[in-house]
Amino acid sequence: AQSVTQPDIHITVSEGASLELRCNYSYGATPYLFWYVQSPGQGLQLLLKYFSGDTLVQGIKGFEAEFKRSQSSFNLRKPSVHWSDAAEYFCAVGAGTTDSWGKLQFGAGTQVVVTP
Amino acid sequence: DVKVTQSSRYLVKRTGEKVFLECVQDMDHENMFWYRQDPGLGLRLIYFSYDVKMKEKGDIPEGYSVSREKKERFSLILESASTNQTSMYLCASEGARSYEQYFGPGTRLTVT
């Protein structure tokens, strides 16, 4: 069964500094990988996704993520954070097979606090 | 833009009550999902549906049932609410094999 680990429950970062959120997954084959963001009081919004091909994926709001098969990781990065990036971030993995399409396994989330 | 709406943002119910949570999407998506979100646990899939009147259990279906009579509407039912079902409930929809789920704003349910 697939699983997702987000090692950092909470991260505090200064506005303008860089941000990296870690995500490790466990899955036998190449998974489909996703990052979602949840702003306070709102539902989840998809930031980016990786299915295959180029291992560096660009997303919305200036985020990018890199798939590293050897490390089973899919870390999210942003070079310079804005106060509006304060939110909870979720990594998710999907199997991508015909009998499990659409079913995602989510990590526990990382809460990001942005200080002035 | 895809819009997923949920019938209530906040709901307070008593133990033993039957609770209905409604979700409607406007993009003619085939797949719809119900998750619950708890601190430290992320999102856990309760049920999903890949077509009208079709449903499959997710990871935590116990104590819940679902109904999908129309393509745009997916209902989550708590037959007899219990305090351990106090949680945030999120609905999502997805076009067939698009792997991009669109989420509603959530319903925060409190069972007293």
Condensed to tens digits (0 to 9), the pLDDT of residues A70-113 reads: 999 999 999 999 999 999 999 999 876 655 556 788 999 999 99
Identify the CA nearest to B25 among candidates B65, B74, B68, B77.
B74
CA A108 to chain B, closest CA, distance in angstroms equals 4
In tens, the pLDDT along B67-95 reads 999 999 999 999 999 999 999 999 999 98
- Would you state the pLDDT for residue A112? 97
Residue A52 backbone phi and psi in degrees, to 5: -170, 175
> Could you tell me if B81 and B18 are in contact, meaning their C-beta atoms sit under 8 angstroms apart?
yes
Instruction: Inspect the interface and report whether the beta carbons of A44 and B41 lie closer than 8 Å.
Output: no
Q: Which residues of A34-68 are buried (b: 16+ CB within 10 A; e: fewer)?
A: bbbbbeeeebbebbbbbeeeeeebebeeebbbbbe
| Closest chain B residue to A10, measured at CA | B40
Instruction: Inspect the interface and report whether the beta carbons of A104 and B106 lie closer than 8 Å.
Output: no
User: How many residues are given for chain A?
Assistant: 116
The band of B104, judged by pLDDT with boundaries at 50, 70 and 90, is: very high
Q: What is the mean pLDDT of residues B37-56?
A: 92
In tens, the pLDDT along B23-44 reads 999 999 999 999 999 998 999 9
Q: Quick check: A30 pLDDT over 90? A: no
Instruction: Inspect the interface and report whether the beta carbons of B44 and A101 lie closer than 8 Å.
Output: no
